[in-house]
Structure formats: structure tokens, C-alpha cells
């Protein structure tokens, strides 16, 4: 298993979920992105949307595959439309100090309750 430079999660954790090698509750899958329920939900709606290809951060994804980032955002909106009236927070933790524990870019789709600001 490959090592991560951010946190303790293996770098290929989400690749293995995308490949079906690890179990997850998949809520969306297409040619560019896969969405699944977060294993440690922090809101009634907490879904992760990840690109099929691994890029570590959202900025790296934007530079390498902007169409995939656009799809990720579209899928996040669709999930929020279906589950929480279209109101949601889309969070990309980038880097260990920002709370990124899995070095495969993932958008957290959070909603289903009033969300406070600023985040902790």
C-alpha cells in the first residue's frame, strides 16, 4: 500500500473505492467522478465526490483536468438538489494543516442542517 504525505490514509484509498475493491455506499458514478457516503458523517448529508483519476489537491485537479472539476461541482449540486433542497457546502481540504487526511482530491458535500461559519 502506498504511503501518504498527508495524514495517515493510504494514497490509493479512494482509488480502491472507485475500483470497487473497498466497500462504500456509492450514490453516483460516471466516466469522470464517483460519489459515496462519507464514513464519518458530520452532517445529515455528507457525501464525498472524487475524480476517478488521482490528483492530490483541488488546485492540481483544476490545472490537470478542469472538466473533471466542473463535473465534480455539477454532481455535488445534483446531490444537494436531491437531498437538501439545493443548499450545501462544498469543502476541499487542501493540505494537512487544512485537515486533508486522504491525498486524493475530494469534495465534501455537506448539508441537511444549518451550517455554522466560520468552520473550526
3-state secondary structure of 76: helix
Please report how close the Cβ of residue 6 comes to ligand DGP at its closest, in angstroms. Answer: 7
Between 33 and 48, name the residue whose CB sits nearer to ligand DGP: 48
Measured between alpha carbons, how far is residue 6 from residues 33, 73, 82 in Å? 22, 23, 32
Residue with Cβ nearer ligand DGP (37 or 81): 37
Cβ distance to ligand DGP smaller for residue 68 or 100: 100
Of residues 35, 38, 42, the one with CA closest to residue 115? 42
Q: Is 106 a catalytic residue?
A: yes
What is the radius of gyration, based on Cα positions, of the chain?
14
- Contact residues for ligand DGP, defined by CB under 6 A: 13, 24, 36-40, 48, 93, 99-102
Distance in Å, CB of 59 to ligand DGP, minimum: 15
Whole-angstrom Cα distance, residue 48 to residue 36?
5
For the chain, how many residues are written?
120
The active-site residue out of 28, 46, 87, 106 is 106
C-beta of 113: minimal distance to ligand DGP in Å?
Answer: 16
Catalytic residues: 106
Amino acid at each position: 500500500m502506498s504511503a501518504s504525505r498527508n495524514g495517515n490514509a493510504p494514497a490509493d484509498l479512494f482509488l480502491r473505492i472507485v475500483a470497487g475493491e473497498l466497500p462504500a455506499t456509492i450514490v453516483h458514478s460516471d466516466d469522470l467522478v464517483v460519489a459515496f457516503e462519507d464514513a464519518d458523517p458530520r452532517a445529515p448529508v455528507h457525501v464525498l465526490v472524487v475524480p476517478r483519476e488521482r490528483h492530490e489537491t483541488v488546485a492540481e485537479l483544476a490545472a490537470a483536468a478542469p472538466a473533471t472539476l466542473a463535473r465534480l461541482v455539477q454532481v455535488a449540486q445534483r446531490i444537494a438538489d436531491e437531498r437538501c433542497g439545493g443548499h450545501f457546502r462544498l469543502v476541499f481540504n487542501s493540505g494537512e494543516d487544512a485537515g486533508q487526511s486522504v491525498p486524493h482530491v475530494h469534495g465534501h458535500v455537506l448539508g441537511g442542517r444549518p451550517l455554522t461559519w466560520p468552520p473550526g
